[in-house]
Amino acid sequence: MIASLVCAVFAAVLGREEIVARFKAPVATRNNGLLSVYAECPADMRLDYQVPVARLASGVCDSLYRHLCIEQRRFEWPRIAIHICPGRTNDTTVATSVGARADGSPVTDIRLPSPGFSDVGKLRIEVARAFMLALRGERIDAAAAARLLRDADPEERTRFQYGEIDKWLRGQPVEGDDEEMLKLCRTVLVPGVAAPGDVLRFASRLFLYPLAYDTPFCGKYDCCSVAQAVKLWREDPMIRVAALAKASQIVVFGGGRGKHLADAAEAYSRLLFAIAAGKTDQDALEDMLEDADVKLNIAFEHAMEGD
């Protein structure tokens, strides 16, 4: 009854074309014409339905332009068309089809049956696939699109890399091989910031190893910690040799990840150089070890706090 009354009022005031136009929001065109978003909703509701979708899809395109170093160009006709349908259910389907214009250029049509319940993750993936087809002429699957989006987002990429390192250290399957993972472990993932895993990996490097596997330290130790080296360096001169080799490496391992870890690395480096020189008395070495350990604990506390 109420719906009929509303329609009657509209019909009395507006013509048929004006009524149809009232229930269609203007097309939102973004990224120099690459992307267009159509919404079958009233113009005054576009802030609720059309604009968020246009902003999300445009953001995906912008991030991929930057990540792939592709220069933006203007499109006379959209290559990515998103249609927001007027469904009133909680249908989260994201339906995609690929067609071609008369000139042979590809056009990806993405349809969202219900404006308020669309699968955002799926939408981002389909926009990425459409972007690669439009700009590179490449058809990629959903998994490749997900990796591309991950790599284009610095925060998401860093979280993934830290996760891969942790899995690899636990012996779990990862995407890269051992050489790639070793390189990743040495990479400064977030300049100036040490994550807890960075500090723990640094601590795992505080061990000395003989130059040859068949000549253990003191005739029985395959390796020794820096703390053990402080006690054993007089018993085996090869410990001093190993300390000299590690002294320079340890600064590199702690570099680029913030002041606190750098301070710890410098402290351990000074200690290792002192062991290698063999001229520092035992009490002084013990004091240097305590100072380095304190600095390492401080670095770990700040990493846990996210500083």
238 CB neighbour count, 10 Å cutoff: 17
- Same domain for 287 and 221, yes or no, is yes
Q: Could you read off the pLDDT of 216-266 as tens digits, one per residue?
A: 999 999 999 999 999 999 999 999 999 999 998 899 888 889 999 999 999
- Same domain for 195 and 173, yes or no, is no
- Same domain for 38 and 133, yes or no, is yes
Question: How many separate helices (H) and strands (E) can be counted in the chain?
Answer: 12, 7
- Same domain for 148 and 25, yes or no, is yes
- Helix (H) or strand (E) holding 264, with range, is helix 259-277
CATH number for the domain spanning 110: value is: 3.40.30
| Closest to 274 (Cα-Cα) out of 286, 259, 265 | 286
Q: Could you read off the pLDDT of 163-178 as tens digits, one per residue?
A: 998 898 888 999 988 8
- Same domain for 211 and 141, yes or no, is no
Domain that holds residue 179: 157-187
- Same domain for 13 and 140, yes or no, is yes
Q: Could you read off the pLDDT of 8-63 as tens digits, one per residue?
A: 434 444 454 554 455 566 788 899 999 999 987 655 566 677 888 999 999 999 99
Domain count, the chain: 3
